[in-house]
Amino acid sequence: MAARRTRGMTGGSDLSRATVARATAIAELLRYECSILLELYRKKESFTADVTVTESRLVSVPPPSSQLETRDKLWCLHSALLQCRSFLERAITKEEEQLGGGKKGDYETQRKMVKERLSLLLINTGELLKTAGGVMILTPSSEGLELDGPTILFELKLWVYRIFEEVDYWTKTAITTLQALPSVIAKERARTTRVRSTRSARR
Amino acid sequence: MVCARVLQLLALACLGSALPARVEADYYLMVVPQSPVLEMGTNFTATCVIINTSEVTADDLYWTLAGTTVPKEQYTKINGSALNVTVPITSEKTEWLMCKCKKKTTLFFIHNEGKLIHGIDLKKGYVPGKPENLSCEAVQQKQYISTTFSCEWQTVGSQTATVPTSYTLYTAVLPGSGQPYSVTTQKNRTQVKLGDTFPHYMTLEVWVEAHNKLGKIESEHLKEDSGWFVKTDPPSDVKVFSEKSFPTSLLINWTHLIPTIRLKLTYRIRYRQNGTQNWTPVPLGDTASDIKSFRLQDLQPYQVYEIQVSCKNAKEGHGYWSDWSTIVTKRTPEARPTSKPDLWRVIAEGDGKNERRVQFICKDPVLANGRIVSFDIKIQDPKDKVKNGSLEWKNIPRSSQGKITDLKQIDLADQKSVRVYINATNSVGKSDEASLFILAKARESELAPVEELKVFPHRGQLWLEWKPPNSTKLVSEYVVEWVGGAQIDWQKEKRNTTHTAIKGHLDKFVCYNVSVYPIYSGWIGKPARKEAYLEQGAPLEAPIVRLHKAGRNQATLNWTEISQGSRRGFITNYTIFYTSGTEVHNITVPANTASYTLTSLSGNTKYDTWVKASTIGGSKISFNHSFTTLRYAPGEMEFIVVGVSLGFLFIVVMTMLLCVYKKDVIKENFWPQIPDPGESTIGNWSPDYPLKADTPRENGLSGISVLDMDVCDGKCVFEEDKASLSLKKGKYLSEEHSSGIGGSSCMSSPRQSVSDSDEGGDMADTTASTVQYSSVVPAPPSGYKGQTPNSQPQQALFSRSESTQPLLDCEENPDVLQQEGSRQSQRSPPRPPRFTDGADPAGIAEQQELLEPLDFCPLGEDSEQATPVDGQAADWLPAAAPLSSYMPQLGGYRPQ
C-alpha cells in the first residue's frame, strides 16, 4: 500500500463533500452502536418490550425541517447532538454515581464508545456548519434541560434509557439530514458562486 | 563575528556577578560556557576567566583537552584575565577541557595551586536526522478495530550515548481541535492509544519528531483516512462444501466479526491441490464485492484441495491485507476416469528355451477422478484376432499396496507377439482402453532406440535428455523407466519430448538404471539405458586391501570391489596410501583398478597401506594393512651364490691355468734346480755302507723324498738300509759310485752316501772325469716306504754324487745357504721343524745342513708322477726317466 504523505489540505468543495460523507458514515456507525447500546441496556436492566418511554423529547431543539436552509438545518442538528452529548455525559455520571463505576463490561465499553462516536459526529457537523457559514455553538445550551435527572432509581434507569433513545433518535435524524445535504451544499455553493460572479461583473 | 565577540564579552561581564559566591571563594579560574553540548564536526570556543586575583594573568594560562595540552595556536587572548581556546569536535567521546595555570614559584601559586584549575565536560552528539518510512497500523480486536495504534519508522543519522535522540510519535484525529495523541520512545517503533474507540471514517495525521539536545526534526506527515491503517484478522469460520453433482466445484463460506457498517471488507481466495506447493489465486475481480461465500470451479474430481481466504478494507488503496485464514481442505467428488490407465510391462527370461516371461503392470490413470477399484485386462494374439475377435476381459482388483498393480504374467514365446488391452474402473465408471504391443523378440531391434541419452541430476531431480530415434517410423510417445534395486517405475512422455525429469520418488545414493523406450503406436522400441544417481555420497564401505605379493622394492596390493549397494555413487578413483612411518605417499588409480604394484619401496621395511575409494560425493578409507618388504629380492640370493661360485670357480680355473702355463716359473720359484745326484759322477765313496737296492730308481724324484722326510724317518731309513743293504749290497756296490769328495759340507756326516739312481751311475760312468758331487737325498716316507718290502722306516740315504755339475753355493758357502734356508722357512710356515727333534747338536747341525738343499727339492707333480710307479721302479724307471724335471737340468749342467 503506497503511503500518501501530504501536509496540504484538499480543496474546499472536496472537503465539504468528504466531510458530509464522513459525517454520514459516522452517524450510521453511531446509530449501529447506539442500537447495540440500547440492546445491552435493555438486557442489563431486563427491560421488556412493554417498557416504553414517553413520547416527549429530552432535547429541546426541534427537528430540522426540510424547509429550513442547510445552515439552519445543520445548526439544529448540531445543537441537538450537543444536547444529546450533554445528556449522555450526565447519564453516565449519574449511573456511575448511583450504580457504581469502574466496571469494564460490554455495556460500559459500548456506552463510552457511543459517547465518543457522538463527539466525532459533532466535530463533523461542526465542520459542516462552519463550512455552511453557520454560527458555531461553543457550549451546549442547557437551558430548560433536565440534566439533573431523577433521584429514584427506577426513574433514573428510565431516564438513562430515554437519553439513549434520544441519542438514537437524533442519530437517525442526523443521517437523514446529512444524506440530504451534499446536493444542497453543491447547489448552494453553485448559487453563491453565481451571485458572487454576477456581483463582480456588475462592479 | 563582531557580534559574537560582543556577546562573549557581555557574557564575561555578567560572569563576575553571576558566579556563585562559593565559586568565587574556591577558584581563581572559571571556564565558560558550562556543560556545553556540542555537535560533531564543529569548532567549539571556550573562555577561561581569571577571577578574584591579579597574581595570575592570561599569559600564565594554558588549555588541555583530554589530558593533552592544546597548542597555543588555538588560543586567543581576550585581555589580561581571559583566554579563549578553539577546539574542533571530532571525537564522540566525552572529554574534559581544562584551563590551567603554569607552575610558578610564587608563594601565591604554592598556596593556591589547587584553585588555579577549572574545566568543563564536553558532551558531543549529532543533530537528529529526519525519520523516514513511517508506517502505522491498527489491528482488529474482536469485532472492533483496536484503538492501539502501532507505528514504526526508520531512524536516520547517528547519535551518541551522551546526546541520545528521542522520538515522539504524534497522531492527530482530524477534523478536530484536540491535542494530538503522543508518545515518546528511544526506539524506532511505538504504540499510541487513540481514545476509547477507533475513529472510523476520521482522518489520522501521523508524524514522528526526532529530538535531542542539539535540535529536533519532524518526519513527513502521514495523513490518511483511519481505514487506511487498518489490518483486520483473516475471515473466521471458513467452511468448504462439496456437492456430489458438481465433481469439479467446491463452495466456500466464511464470516467476519467486523460489522460492515464499521468496515467494509474485500476478500481474496487461493487454493491448491493437496501436496503441491503453488497456490492458485482467484482473480480479485471475482471477490471484490462484500461477499461471504464463493464457488471454486474447474477443479479436478476426487482431489483434495487446500483453501485460504484473506481480507482487507474494501476501500481501494486502504488497509493492509490480513493474514491468510487457516487452511481448509476438502476433496472434490468422484467422476469417471477421464484418462487411460498407464500400462507397462517387465520382460524377463522365461523358464523354457526361446521363451520370455512378460509381467504386465499398470498405474492408475492420471485423471482417475476417483479411487480406482479394479482393472479389466484382455491379452490378444494379433493372429487370433481375426479368428476370435472378442476375448473375455479379466477383472483384476487394484493393488492395495503402492501405486503399481501387477496385472498378469505370461510366458511368451520369443517369436510370438501379443497385444494387451486394459481399462480402469472407479465407483463412477470405466476409463477408456489403453493398449500395448509386445513384439516378437527378433523384431524388437527393428524399432530404433533414442540416441545420445544423457541422465544427470539437477536441483534434486534426475533429468534426461535424448535425441529422437533415427527411424522412419513415427514415435507416438516415450516411456522413461527407472529401476533402482528391486523397485521399478516409469512415466510416459509426449512424442516431442527430448528432455524431462523423473517425477517419481527417487532415493539418494541409489544407482538407478534409467531406460528410455520409444513407443511406435503402441509398439515398444529398443531402449537406451544409462545408470545414474540422484545424489552421490561417500561409499558406505571401504575396499578391503590385501597384500598380494611382496618383493624387496615392490609390493602388489589387491583390494575388493565395494558392493553396489554400498557404493552410493560412481567410484571415480582409488587412492592408495602407504607409509613406512615418516612420509605418507599416495597414488591415485582409476576406478576400474583392483590391484596395484607399489614400487620404489625399501627392502626389509614395514609398510602401512590403505586405500581410499572416492566418489564425487565423498570418500571412504579402508583399514590399514601392514606388510614388510623382503630383505632380498627374489633371485637375488641365488644370483649372489651363483656369482660367488662362479668367481671362485674362475679363480680356481685361473689358478690352474696359471699353474699349467706358468709351471716353469712356479717350479723355478718353488722347486729350484737341485743337482741330480743320479747324474753325479761321484762314485760311491763309502763302500762300507750297503746301498739301497732301489737307489738308482730314485733319479729325479729324490728331492721329493727329501722334503717329506723327518729326522726319525731318516734314522729309520738308515736302519732299514742297514738291513736292506745287505741284500742288495752286491749290486749297488758294483754299480754305484761314490762322489768321493769328503770335503763337501753336505757330506761332512760320516754316514754313507747313497746314489740316487742307476742311470746316474751310468751317467757317472760316462762322466767319470767330471767332478763328483755329493747329494743328500732322503727318501720320501711314503714313496720309499713303498719301495721297500717291509714297512720299516727308511733311513736317509746319503750318497755321494758323481755329477759333473758344480757344487751348489750352499755346498761351497754354507753361510749363504743357511740364510736362504731361513728365508725359505719363512715362506713355508706350515712346514714343521722336523729337524729340530734331533738330540745332539751335532745331529742338529747335520740336519741343518741337510735342510738347506731340501728347500729346493722339486715336489708335487714329479713326486706324484713317481708315486704310482713305486712298485715297478726298476722296470719303469728307464722309461720314466725322461719325464723327470731334472732332466733339463742334467742337460744344462752337462756342458759345465
pLDDT digits (tens, 9 = 90+) for A91-149: 888 888 776 766 678 888 888 889 989 988 988 888 888 877 766 665 555 555 556 66
* In the predicted structure, residue B426 carries a pLDDT above the cut 70: yes
The residues on B that touch A, with CB distances below 8 Å, are 134-135, 173, 175-176, 195-197, 199-202, 220-224, 228, 259, 261-262, 317-320
Q: Domains along chain A? A: 2-202 (1.20.1250.10)
Q: Is 70 exceeded by the pLDDT of residue B115?
A: yes
C-alpha cell at B682: 761321484
pLDDT of residue B731: 42
Tens digit of each residue's pLDDT (9 = 90 or more) over B242-256: 988 899 999 999 988
Mean pLDDT computed over B727-742: 42
- A22 and B202 within 8 Å at the Cβ level: the answer is yes
**Of B226-240, B435-449, B469-483, B529-543, the least confident:** B435-449
H or E segment at B889? Answer: helix B886-893
ipTM for the predicted complex: 0.81
Residue B480, pLDDT > 90, answer yes
Provide the pLDDT confidence category of residue B727 given band limits of 50, 70 and 90: very low
- Indicate which of B144, B179, B201, B320 best probes the interface with A, i.e. most A CBs within 10 Å of its own CB: B201
pLDDT more than 70, % of chain B? 71
Task: Using CA coordinates, name the residue in chain A closest to B263.
Answer: A29
In this structure, the number of other CB atoms found within 10 A of the CB of residue B868 comes to: 11
Cβ-based contacts of A26 with chain B (< 8 Å): 200-202
Over residues B428-444, mean pLDDT: 86
- Alpha carbon distance B183, B432 (integer Å): 72
Average pLDDT in the B491-506 region? Answer: 89
Q: Kindly report the three-state secondary structure assignment for every residue of chain A.
A: CCCCECCCCCCHHHHHHHHHHHHHHHHHHHHHHHHHHHHHHHHHHCCCCCCCCCCCCCCCCCCCCCCCCHHHHHHHHHHHHHHHHHHHHHHHHHHHHHHCCCCCCHHHHHHHHHHHHHHHHHHHHHHHHHHHCCCCCCCCCCCCCCCCCCCCHHHHHHHHHHHHHHHHHHHHHHHHHHHHHHHHHHHHHHHHHHHHHHHHHHC
CA of A26, closest CA in chain B: separation in Å?
A: 7
Position A70 pLDDT exceeds 60: yes
Domain B338-408+415-438: state its class: mainly beta
Residue B423: predicted pLDDT: 92
Residue B271 confidence (pLDDT) above 90: yes
Examine the pLDDT at B105 and tell me if it is beyond 90: no
> How many Cβ pairs within 8 Å bridge chains A and B?
55
> For A26, which residue in chain B has the nearest alpha carbon?
B201
Nearest to B569 by CA among B588, B553, B591: B591
CATH of span B232-331: 2.60.40.10
Residue-level pLDDT at B789: 43
Which residues in chain B are closer than 8 Å to A22, comparing Cβ atoms?
Answer: 201-202
How would residue B389 be classed by pLDDT, with cut points 50, 70 and 90? low
Q: Do A3 and B222 touch (CB under 8 A)?
A: yes
Q: Which of A92, A123, A127, A178 best probes binding to B when mutated, by most B CB atoms within 10 angstroms?
A: A123
Highest mean pLDDT of the ranges A38-52, B440-454, B500-514? B500-514
CA distance A183 to chain B (A): 20
pLDDT at B763: 43
Helix (H) or strand (E) holding B663: helix B663-670
Task: Tell me whether domains B338-408+415-438 and B544-629 share a fold.
Answer: yes
- C-beta of residue B502 within 8 angstroms of C-beta of residue B482: yes
Q: What is the pLDDT of residue B796?
A: 44
Q: Mean pLDDT across the stretch B550-561?
A: 88
Per-residue pLDDT averaged across B817-844, rounded? 42
The reply to whether residue B175 touches residue A7, judged by beta carbons under 8 angstroms, is no
Instruction: Report the pLDDT value the prediction gives residue B884, as an integer from 0 to 100.
Output: 42
Give the residue with greater pLDDT, B719 vs B96.
Answer: B96
pLDDT over 90, % of chain B: 20
Each residue of B564-582: pLDDT tens digit? 888 889 999 999 999 988 8
pLDDT attached to residue B249: 92
Of residues A17 and B585, more confidently modeled: B585
Q: Residue A3 and residue B259: Cβ atoms within 8 Å?
A: no
pLDDT at B375 over 90: yes
Q: Which fold has domain B132-225?
A: Immunoglobulin-like (2.60.40)
- Closest-CA distance of chain B to residue A156, Å: 25
The answer on pLDDT for B703 being more than 90 is no
Would you state the pLDDT for residue A135? Answer: 67
A124 against A53, higher pLDDT: A124
* Closest of A96, A100, A84, A46 to residue A169, by C-alpha: A84
Q: What sections of B37-136 are H helices per DSSP?
A: 107-111
Mean pLDDT, to the nearest integer, of B598-617? 89
Domain residue ranges of chain B, discontinuous segments joined by +: 28-125, 132-225, 232-331, 338-408+415-438, 544-629
- The region of weakest confidence among A55-59, B186-190, B594-598 is A55-59
User: What average pLDDT does the structure give for chain B?
Assistant: 75
The model's confidence at residue A86, banded by pLDDT at 50, 70 and 90, is confident
Q: For B48-63, what is the mean pLDDT?
A: 84
Output A125 or B699, whichever has higher pLDDT.
A125
Q: Which DSSP helix (H) or strand (E) runs through B344? A: strand B342-349
Note the pLDDT tens digit of each residue in B148-172. Answer: 999 999 988 888 888 889 999 999 8
Nearest by CB: B176 against A19, A115, A123: A123
Instruction: Show the CA angle centred on residue B843, arms to residues B840 and B849, nearest 5°.
Output: 145
Overall pTM surpassing 0.80 (yes/no)? no
| pLDDT of amino acid A143 | 56
Any residues with CB less than 8 A from the CB of B304 and at least 6 apart, and which?
B273, B274, B275, B329, B330, B331
Q: How many C-beta neighbours within 10 Å does residue B363 have?
A: 23
Interface of chain A toward chain B, CB-CB under 8 angstroms: 1-7, 19, 22, 25-26, 28-29, 32, 109, 112-113, 115-117, 120, 123-124, 127
Amino acid B168: pLDDT: 92
Examine the pLDDT at B130 and tell me if it is beyond 50.
Answer: yes
Distance CA A131, CA A133 (A): 5
Instruction: State mean pLDDT over B864-879.
Output: 40
Please tell me the distance from the alpha carbon of residue B858 to that of residue A39, in angstroms, as a whole number: 163
- Amino acid B324: pLDDT: 94
Instruction: Find out whether A159 and A54 touch, Cβ atoms under 8 Å.
Output: no
Is residue B855 predicted with pLDDT exceeding 80? no
User: DSSP E strands: which ranges in B441-544?
Assistant: 451-458, 461-467, 477-484, 487-494, 499-501, 511-520, 523-524, 528-533
Homologous superfamily (CATH) of B28-125 is Immunoglobulins (2.60.40.10)
Lowest mean pLDDT among B456-465, B807-816, B826-835: B826-835
Average pLDDT estimate for B315-319: 87
Beta bridge partners of B242: B250
Quick one: pLDDT at residue B845?
A: 42
Residue with cell 482522518: B203
Window from A68-77, B5-14, B387-396, B858-867 with minimum mean pLDDT? B858-867
Q: Which CATH superfamily is domain B544-629 in?
A: Immunoglobulins (2.60.40.10)
Cell 565558560, residue located: B32
